[in-house]
Amino acid sequence: MSCSLPEIKMPNDTDLLKAECWVPSPNFEKRLNNRSVDLLLLHYTATPTNAYALELLTSKDAGVSSHYLIDGEGEIFQLVGEDYRAWHAGDAFWDGECDINSCSIGIEIQNQGAALARVPAYGRRQMAAVIDLSKDIVRRHNIPPSRVLAHSDVAPHRKQDPGAHFDWKALANEGVGLWVELGGSEVGPMGDLDERGIRLVQQQLSVIGYGLEVTGVFDDRTVLVVTAFQRHFRQGLVSGVLDGETTALIDLLHDQIKA
């Protein structure tokens, strides 16, 4: 049985293109169940060059894509129109939603990330382009700050991108996404949490949106989710350990989202 590829269509006027280049990918489809966009998902490419990332994201055989790709110099490429479902999130979950591709716009950022022993920084022009494009997307789609996320947030069991070296604080300072800080207060180490304490942290992380069952057991899944939280909100020490600072930041973010 053969299947024809979707027609490669130019983005329509509602996309209000910010991209310098339109490089169509065949890997897209209609958003399922007429789902509207309410989530922005950021990735790194984990590729050595932008040319390789572009080749991968536009290859029929690779079966992956994103709406945008930003190279190391801050040039923006659009690969899939925003009206369509790109294939970038994979097996993922956030706040009760399993089909992240249907509700999201994906931005791939050229960076090798964890593929290298020494993780390369995001460039100044590159980060400026990420901020500019992200601001435009969240404005047009009315995406709430709590739904500007890392790939590792929605897939902590298999992804690390865009990594602990991504400047989430700079993005939040421009009104895109959330950031929490402890205001310079000292938070010491914390002893082992009992079942009640673990259940509370799991419940808070679940309310934030992470896919996590409230079991009262600090199991492997909880470690992965705590690690993903730290990559986004406590980047100085990504350990998977529920220390005092991590627990305090989880509490702050939970209260901010619930407010």
Domains (range + CATH), the chain? 13-173 (3.40.80.10), 195-258 (1.10.101.10)
- Name the pTM for this structure: 0.91
Chain segment 19-72, per-residue pLDDT in tens: 668 999 999 999 999 999 999 999 999 999 999 999 999 999 999 999 999 999
Which residue would you say has higher pLDDT here, 1 or 252? 252
Distance CA(140)–CA(36), nearest Å, equals: 12
Amino acid present at 177: G
Distance CA(149)–CA(154), nearest Å, equals: 8
Peptide bond into 144 cis (omega under 30): no
Instruction: Let me know: does 213 contact 199? Beta carbons within 8 Å.
Output: no
Chain segment 109-119, per-residue pLDDT in tens: 999 998 777 77
Which residue would you say has higher pLDDT here, 197 or 188? 197
* Per-residue pLDDT, 102: 98
* Per-residue pLDDT, 184: 64
**Residue 109, helix vs strand vs coil:** strand
When pLDDT is averaged across residues 179-195 and rounded to a whole number, the result is 74
Q: pLDDT band at residue 186, thresholds of 50, 70 and 90?
A: low
Which residues are identified as catalytic? Answer: 108
